[in-house]
Structure formats: structure tokens, C-alpha cells
A = this chain, B = another copy of it.
Amino acid sequence: MPLHPFDEATALETAGEHTWQGRTSPAYGNMVGPFGGITAAQALSAVLRHPQRQGEPVALTVNFAAPLEDGPFEAIARPARTNRSTQHWQLELRQQGQAVLTGTAFTALRRDTWGADEHTMPSAPRAAEIPLPTARKRVEWVNRYEMRFIDGGFPEHWDGRDTGSSRTRLWVRDAPARPLDHASLTALSDVFFPRVWRRRATLVPIGTVSMTVYFHADAAQLAEVADGYLLGQAQAQVFRAGYFDQSAQLWTEGGTLLATTHQVVYYKE
């Protein structure tokens, strides 16, 4: 059975105690270089493969330091501090000896405690009731996701009016469908198209500079989701002087909040 494109893209070969060799995946190509979500997943993948890893991902921050060139990269994941049940990681992706991504991750052994989902899932029609978009895909990576927009999809007309809201809600999963894990959830945290496009109905040049993912489920819980749809919601808080932020949530169909994620994005004009 052929590997799923996501597993092919996030495969890494050992190249040292804290170093792996990977390569960019044409299946996840973006306008220039790869989809940022797959790059973030590749960085986390180094942590997930590390023989010294303790616990499961709770927090991940990646900074896109330079555009990746298509081809090989080195992934470095180094434990900076190992405590009794938690571990802090320093991350880097390098090409031609230069950092193209920097980051940190936090893994932990989690314990059962009191819990509550305070940000509850918005009500929405079921995924199957929402048609798939028919528009031509501008970039390859979009074909790797099944996206069914509940509201706030791509503007129908790029007429440059201020729409007053940057919010998008959609059902989303890998295409072809694939069981959920922390690496694929990382990539899914970046599927939301740039909020400035939605707010302004204008395709200005953009680029994510920093992205943080908080994971609220362990591997067993993610395995239970299997290849079910996730409800994703994303919205910006402020656009100013060339940078905006956006925050997003990803819930299971049953309403369990699996990940909350934030990013700051460069935009031109």
C-alpha cells in the first residue's frame, strides 16, 4: 500500500544524535516553497521520532525564518531541559547551513484531572451537507485537504471591499482521509487561508512568520478521532503596520476542542 502523502512528506532519516534529514514535498507545494503547515509538521516530526522524547506534545512554536527551497533540509530537535515528567525542545530546520525555521516544543506526560471545554464548538450543519468547493485550486497543498466551508470561505469577488470580519468556519480533514495524530493536527492548524484576504477581499502578498499550536489531546484521543472531520474556526484580532495575528480552534465532530493555535502573519500594503 503506498504511503499517504502526509507520511511521505513527514518521513525523516536519522542523520545524527539530534539531527534528521528530510525533504520538501511537491504534494504540499505552495505559491513559493512548501505549505507552512507541512513544514511545521516536519519540525514536530523530529521531536516525535527522538529516542529521548518523554511524553507527548503540549505546545509547539515555529518561526518561518526564510522561504524553504524545494529539496533537502536538516531537522534538528534537541532536548534543552528534561524534567521528571516534562521536556523542553529546541528546534531548527536548516538548508545550506542556514536556519530556515526556528522553534521550541514542550512535551509532557499528562494525567487525568478536572477538565472543561470553555470555548464550545459553534453549531453548524454536518460536513456531508456542505458541498465541496468547485473553484480551481491555485496551489497544490490545497488538494491535500478536504475543506467544506460553513461560512467565511474565499471571497466570491476580489473587489477589495472591507468585509468587516475575517472569520472562517469549515469542516476539514486530510485528503485522502488519514487517521489523526499530532503531526497531522499541526499541519491542520495552518489550513486557514490568511485572514487579511478574507477581511479585505484582496489577495495581498502574505507570509506567516510565527505559529504556535497548543495540543489538548494525547495520541490515544487523536487515534479515536480517526479520519473524522474537524470543525475549524479562525479569526484575526488586529491588522497593523504589515502584520496581523490570527487565532484558530479545531474541534472534533463531537465537540471536543483538540487544538488551539495562533499565528502572526506578514502582509503587504
Q: Which residues of A contact B (CB under 8 A)?
A: 58-59, 61, 63, 65-66, 80-81, 83, 86, 88, 90, 92, 98-100, 102-104, 106, 108, 110-119, 162, 165-166, 199-200, 209-210, 212, 214, 216-218, 235-243, 245, 247, 249, 257, 260, 262, 264, 266-269
Output the residue of A90, A119, A166, A212 with the most chain B CB within 10 A.
A212
Q: Which residues of B have CB within 8 Å of A65?
A: 80-81, 83, 88
Pick the residue among B63, B88, B240 that contacts A99 (CB under 8 A).
B88
Q: Are A262 and B264 in contact (CB under 8 A)?
A: no
Kindly report which residue of chain B lies nearest to residue A114, judged by CB atoms: B269
Kindly report which residue of chain B lies nearest to residue A241, judged by CB atoms: B110
Pick the residue among B66, B116, B239, B262 that contacts A239 (CB under 8 A).
B116
Chain B proximity of A261: nearest CB distance (Å) = 9
Pick the residue among B117, B212, B218, B243 that contacts A108 (CB under 8 A).
B243
Report the Cα distance A260→B245, complex, angstroms: 8
Pick the residue among B59, B100, B102, B117 that contacts A210 (CB under 8 A).
B59
Kindly report which residue of chain B lies nearest to residue A62, judged by CB atoms: B104
Chain B proximity of A161: nearest CB distance (Å) = 12
Q: Could you say how many copies of this chain the assembly holds?
A: 2
Kindly report which residue of chain B lies nearest to residue A195, judged by CB atoms: B118
- Known pairs A59-B264, A106-B209, A114-B200 / 19 extra A-B pairs, C-beta < 8 Å: A58-B209, A59-B209, A61-B212, A65-B81, A66-B81, A86-B266, A88-B99, A106-B264, A108-B209, A111-B242, A114-B269, A115-B241, A116-B238, A116-B239, A118-B235, A118-B238, A216-B241, A237-B260, A247-B260
